[in-house]
Amino acid sequence: MFDRHNYLGVGVGGFIFPNSSHPTFMNAFLDYHNYLSKKASTPVLGLKAGGSHSFNYEGLSGVKFKNAVVIEPSLGWSWGLKSGNGLTLGLGAALYMPVGESRTDKKVLPMPKLSFGFEF
C-alpha cells in the first residue's frame, strides 16, 4: 500500500474448470484497490489488468482463445481484523480480449467473478 486508501500490487494466478473439456488458465496481473473509507470495514473499488494464457488450447476444448489481455473491474468490501490482516469479498467481471490465435470473432469475452480473499 502506498497510502491508507490505495493498494498496488502484482500477482500470478490460475484457474481450472471441473471438467476435461477446458484447459487450465494462468494469469499474470497488476492489481489496484482503492479503499473508500478510513474505517476498518470499508467498500473497495478494484481493477486488475494483465494477461492470460490457456494451456492445452488445441483439441476439442470449448475455449475460444490461447492468449488474452484481461481487464477486471470489481466492487467489494474489506473487513480489517485486529491482527492487521483482513478479509475481502468482491464481485466483478473479467473481460478477456483475445490476442493472436483465436476461435472467436468476439472482441471481448466476459466472465462474471465472485471472489473471497485474505489480506496480509
Q: pLDDT value at position 23?
A: 72
Q: Is the pLDDT of residue 28 over 90?
A: yes
DSSP code, position 46: E
**Taking residues 86-98, what's their average pLDDT?**
93
The whole-model pTM stands at: 0.81
**Mean pLDDT, all residues of the chain:** 86
CA torsion 16→30→34→3, rounded to 10°?
Answer: 130
